[in-house]
Amino acid sequence: MDMLSRVADSLYWMSRYLERAEHIARVLEVYLSEQLEEYTGDDNNRWRTVVESIGLQAPDDLVEEDVGHWMAFDLSNQSSIVACIMSARDNARQVREQISSEMWEHLNRLFHRVRAASTTEDWSADQHEFLTEVKEGAHLFQGITDSTMNHGEGWHFIQLGRFMERAVSVSELIKVHFREHIPADDEEHHEGGDLLKSCTAFEAYCKVYTADFKPLRISEFLLLNREFPHSICFAIDQVEVSLKALPQSADRRVGDRALRLVGKLKAMLSFSQIDEIMAIGLPVFLAEIDRQCNQIHIALHQIYIEYPVETAIQF
């Protein structure tokens, strides 16, 4: 049976929001544990950087003590963890009969737990537990999705949402991180460990490069590694796989556009070397990834969701 555009849209956004919630939970956890050790002690604006690294702008009246709460629970912050999980659930609810009941029940339960946590007075005691719950909840949802839902069109839209969000958010994280730390090439780069942890990449990186944190290698790993699931290259590979699995669009001209765009980005990531990237400048390269991801997102939307009626009428 054909899939309704609205359903595809909801599945895509459900997945994006959940990926985003998990990403923020990871970044926040790394920040909070790094806070405890305070080896960056002199840097009073560290928390502002963290907020920026997830693509947000801190409101003027936000103070350092509240940043954790703001990122986790504040509903006026549309990208707080709770707000993201709420949006994921809202989208899932719209398509409840299209996803497996196990998926719905799990997401619903996660939502209720997170909301209950958001109303407790003092969350600082349970910060770690809460953030772990969010991360595990998101992982579990992915596992449930993979093992209970048909790997058909709907599942591919879920994959697209997950990996588009991942590519964009990892790129943002790298951008902000290296804007703050521009150490020389051969220098030991301690903060690099935090960046890797924010992408669950610490252990995976060490297996490839040992615990030797060089900016160049860290960048290479997060941008170009083909095997690590949180690298941008991996994410874009997955986007391509899912895009190819979708049915041909009625209108071939636009249908090929998304594939062409993702192919172009994939080629850029596949055939670039890290010294070339550094030579043109990391920010320039990241901005290009961002721009292309955005184009892919728009193309997806125009082809499958919001296509103009005139072009879609078959004469």
Partner 1 sequence: MAFPAPFQNYALGDAYDEMFAAPAAPREQFQALYDRLQELPLAELRRRKHTADQAFLNQGITFTLSGRDEGMERIIPHDLLPRIITGAEWAVIETGLTQRIQALNEFLRDIYTDGHILNDKVVPRDIIFSCKHFRREMRGVQVPKDIYVTVVGTDLIRTPAGEFVVLEDNLRVPSGVSYMLTSRQVMKRAFPELFQTCDVRPIDHYGQALLATLREQAPDNRSDPTVVLLSPGVYNSAYFEHSYLARQMGVQLVEGRDLVVHDNIVHMRTTGGLRRVDVIYRRIDDDFIDPLSFRPDSILGVPGLFNAYRTGNVTLANAIGSGVADDKALYAYVPQIIRYYTGRDPILNQVETFLCSKPKQLQHVMENIGSLVVKAVGESGGYGMLIGPHSSKAEREDFLARIQAEPRNYIAQPTISISTAPCFIGGSGVEPRHVDLRPYILHGEKTTIVPGGLTRVALRKGSLVVNSSQGGGSKDTWVLN
Site for partner 1 in 289-308 (CB under 8 A): 304-305, 307
Binding mask 232-261 for partner 1 (x = CB under 8 A): --------------xxxxxx----------
Work out whether 96 is an interface residue with partner 1 (CB under 8 A).
yes
- Region of residue 251 (phi > 0: left; psi between -120 and 50: alpha; otherwise: beta): beta
Work out whether 145 is an interface residue with partner 1 (CB under 8 A).
no
Q: Least distance from C-beta 89 to partner 1, angstroms?
A: 10
Q: Yes or no: say if 5 and 304 are a contact pair by the CB < 8 Å rule.
A: yes
Work out whether 208 is an interface residue with partner 1 (CB under 8 A).
no
Q: Name the amino acid, one letter, at 238.
A: Q
Q: Yes or no: say if 285 and 219 are a contact pair by the CB < 8 Å rule.
A: no
Whole-angstrom CA distances from 314 to 242, 251, 300, 309 are 26, 9, 20, 10
Tokens 């895509």 correspond to what residue?
12
Work out whether 314 is an interface residue with partner 1 (CB under 8 A).
yes
Work out whether 116 is an interface residue with partner 1 (CB under 8 A).
no
Work out whether 75 is an interface residue with partner 1 (CB under 8 A).
no
Work out whether 205 is an interface residue with partner 1 (CB under 8 A).
no
Q: Least distance from C-beta 299 to partner 1, angstroms?
A: 13
CA dihedral 109, 115, 117, 120 (to 10 degrees): -140
Whole-angstrom CA distances from 136 to 23, 131, 221, 263, 289 are 12, 9, 24, 32, 29
Work out whether 312 is an interface residue with partner 1 (CB under 8 A).
yes
Rounded CA-CA distance 172/53 in Å is: 6
Size of the site for partner 1 (CB under 8 A): 27
Work out whether 97 is an interface residue with partner 1 (CB under 8 A).
yes
Binding mask 151-180 for partner 1 (x = CB under 8 A): --x---------------------------
Q: Least distance from C-beta 313 to partner 1, angstroms?
A: 6
Nearest to 187 by CA among 178, 174, 196: 178
Work out whether 309 is an interface residue with partner 1 (CB under 8 A).
yes
Q: By the criterion CB under 8 A, which residues form the site for partner 1?
A: 1-6, 8, 93-94, 96-97, 101, 104, 153, 246-251, 304-305, 307, 309, 312-314
